[in-house]
Chain A
Amino acid sequence: MSVATSVAAPPASGTAARTNNRGGRLRRKISDNLTAYLMMAGGLICFALFSWYPIVRAFLLAFQKTNFVGVSHWVGWNNFRQLFGDPEFAAAWRNTFEFTGFALLVGFAIPFVLAVVLNEMRHAKSLFRLLVYLPVMVPPVVTAILWKWFYDPGQGLFNEVLRALHLPTSSWVYSTGTAVISLVLVSTWSNMGSTVLVYLAALQGIPADLYEAAELDGANIFQRVRHVTVPQTRYVLLMLMLLQIVATMQVFTEPFIITGGGPQDATISVLYLIYKYAFVYFNYGGACALSIMLFVFLGIFSAFYLRLTRTND
Chain B
Amino acid sequence: MRTPTTRRLAALALAAGSTLGLVACSSSNDSSGSNGDVSITVNCWPPTSDPIDRKNFSDDIASFEKIHPNIHITPKDEYPCDDPKTFQAKLAGGQMENVFYVYYTDIASVVANGQAADISDYVKDVKGLSDIQPSTLSVFKGPDGKYYGLPRTNYSMGLIYNRALFTQAGLDPNKPPTTWADVQADAKKISALGNGVVGYADYSSGNQGGWHYTAEIYSQGGSMVTADGKHANFDNAQGKAVLQNLQQMRWTDNSMGSKQLLTQTDVLPMMGSGKLGMYIAAPDNLPILVKQYGGSYENLGIGPMPGDKSTLLGGDGYMFNVKDTPAQIQAGIQWLQYEELTPGQGQFNYQRAASEKSPVGLPEPDLWNGSTADADAQAKTKYANVPQENYSAFESAMKTMPGKIEPPDAQQIYSVLDNVMSGVLTNQNANIDSLLSDASAKVDNLLANQ
Q: Which residues of A contact B (CB under 8 A)?
A: 34-35, 37-39, 41-43, 45-46, 49, 67-70, 82, 85-88, 152-156, 171, 173-176, 259-265, 276, 279-284
In the assembled complex, the Cα of A264 lies from the Cα of B19 at a distance in Å of 48
**Complex-state Cα separation, A269 to B174, whole angstroms:** 47
Least distance between A268 CB and chain B CB atoms (Å) = 9
Q: A38-B8, A68-B91, A70-B114 are in contact. Are A86 and B442 (CB under 8 A)?
A: yes
Interface SS majority for chain B: helix
- The docked-state distance in angstroms from the alpha carbon of A243 to that of B7 is 37
Q: Do A39 and B261 have beta carbons less than 8 Å apart? A: no
Given contacts A46-B22, A262-B418, A262-B419, list 11 more A-B pairs with CB under 8 A: A35-B7, A38-B15, A42-B15, A45-B19, A45-B22, A67-B88, A68-B88, A86-B445, A155-B196, A174-B258, A280-B207
Contact A174 B426 (CB under 8 A): yes
- Asked if B261 contacts A35 (CB within 8 A), the reply is no
State the majority secondary structure of interface residues on A.
loop
Q: Is the CB of A279 within 8 A of B84?
A: yes
User: Is the Cβ of B446 less than 8 Å from the Cβ of A281?
Assistant: yes
What chain B residues lie within 8 Å of A276 (beta carbons)? 415
Q: How extensive is the interface on chain B, given as a class?
A: 35 or more
B387 is an interface residue with CB less than 8 A from chain A: no
| CA gap between A40 and B20 in the complex, in Å | 16
A252 → chain B closest CB, angstroms: 14
**In the complex with contacts A69-B91, A69-B114, A280-B415, A263-B422 CB distance below 8 A:** yes
Q: Are B260 and A39 in contact (CB under 8 A)?
A: no
Which among B109, B418, B427 is the interface contact of A282 at CB below 8 angstroms?
Answer: B109
Contact status B88-A263, CB under 8 Å: no
Min CB distance, A149 to chain B, in Å? Answer: 10
With A154-B196, A176-B426 in contact, is A68–B92 under 8 Å at CB? yes
Name which residue of chain B comes closest to A85, CB basis.
B445
Q: Are B411 and A280 in contact (CB under 8 A)?
A: yes
Nearest-neighbor residue (CB-CB) of B420 within chain A: A264
Q: Does B263 contact A (CB under 8 A)?
A: yes
**A259 contacts across to B, CB distance below 8 A:** 205, 261
**How does the 8 Å CB contact mask read for B411-441 relative to A, with 1 for contact and 0 for none?**
1100100110011011100100001001001
Residues on B with beta carbons closer than 8 Å to the beta carbon of A174:
258-261, 426
Expressed in whole angstroms, the Cα–Cα distance for A155 and B269 within the complex equals 14
Nearest CB of chain B from residue A207's CB, rounded to whole Å = 43
* 15 A/B residue pairs, CB under 8 Å, sorted by A: A35-B4, A35-B7, A35-B8, A38-B8, A38-B14, A42-B18, A42-B19, A68-B91, A154-B259, A171-B258, A174-B261, A260-B206, A263-B423, A263-B425, A280-B411
Say yes or no: is B34 at the interface (Cβ < 8 Å to chain A): no
B442 adjacent to A87 (CB under 8 Å): yes
With A42-B17, A260-B261, A264-B427 as known contacts, state yes or no: A82 contacts B412, CB within 8 Å. no
Interface centre among A39, A152, A264 (most CB of B within 10 A): A264
